[in-house]
Every structure is written in structure tokens, then in C-alpha cells.
Amino acid sequence: MLNEKTLHYLQQKNFVGELAEAIGVLKVYMGKPEGDCLVLSLLHDGDKVQKIRFLAQGGPSLIACCAYVTEQLNSKNLACLSSIDSEQLVQYFSLAKTEISKAVLVEDALKQLYKAVNQ
């Protein structure tokens, strides 16, 4: 059974999608097509997230984690990309041990996106 927070974020469609290729748009592809995978698209203006979107394939925990982080990061400073970690997601969503890998995948995607922004 899904908890209330997971259900809430599964219903959020504000940050679902992919940003078109453009100057300032970065994308990170994580996971495997046959399993859990996600795409994070970010438009920034140097030090601030202007837009962030996600596409995810996998279970409800992965999709809820993606919706949560995109909501939290939209219009924030780019440094915030490194402030969300898997432990925070596990605690927020009360993820079972079998679902922790979903939170780790999202954390890894955020780290890669942060690294790409700073290159």
C-alpha cells in the first residue's frame, strides 16, 4: 500500500516532461531501459534553476521521488542540486528497504546534473 506522501506526488504533473534542447539545458539519463530509469532536464541561467522536468519509468516510489525533487529544486539556486540525498528521500517517503535503490538512483542523477552544471 502506498503512503499519503507517495500518492500526493504521484498525482503531481507540474514537472513531468522533458525540456527541449537549448542553451542552458542539461539532461541526465540514469538507469536501464529495461528497469528503473529517469531523465532530468534542467534549464539554468548560471546560478539558478529556471526550469526542471523529469521523465521516469519504474515503480511509484521512483516517480514520487522525482516529482518531489523537481518541486523542491524549481527556481532554486543550483547549489541545491547537491543538497538532496537518498537518505532524505527514504525518510520523507518512508521507503521500504526494497525501494531504497529508487532514492539512490534519484540522488545519483542529481549529482550528475550538478557535476554537468559546474563543468
Amino acid found at 36: D
**What is the predicted pLDDT for the residue at 63?**
95
Closest CA to 41 of 95, 89, 104, 112: 112
**What is the predicted pLDDT for the residue at 23?**
58
Which residue would you say has higher pLDDT here, 36 or 22? 36
Over residues 26-41, the pLDDT tens digits come to 677 877 777 888 888 8
Over residues 57-88, the pLDDT tens digits come to 899 999 999 999 999 999 999 999 999 999 99
Asked if the model's pLDDT at residue 21 lies above 80, the reply is no
**What is the predicted pLDDT for the residue at 116?**
85
CATH class held by domain 4-117: alpha beta
Per-residue pLDDT band for 98 (boundaries 50, 70, 90) equals: very high
pTM: 0.90
DSSP notation for the chain: ---HHHHHHHT--TTBS-PPS-TTEEEEEEE-TTS-EEEEEEEESSSBEEEEEEEEES-HHHHHHHHHHHHHHTTSBGGGGGT--HHHHHHHHT--GGGHHHHHHHHHHHHHHHHHHT-
**What is the predicted pLDDT for the residue at 45?**
85
**What is the predicted pLDDT for the residue at 107?**
94
Domain range annotation of the chain: 4-117
**What is the predicted pLDDT for the residue at 26?**
66
Contact 58, 102 (CB under 8 A): yes
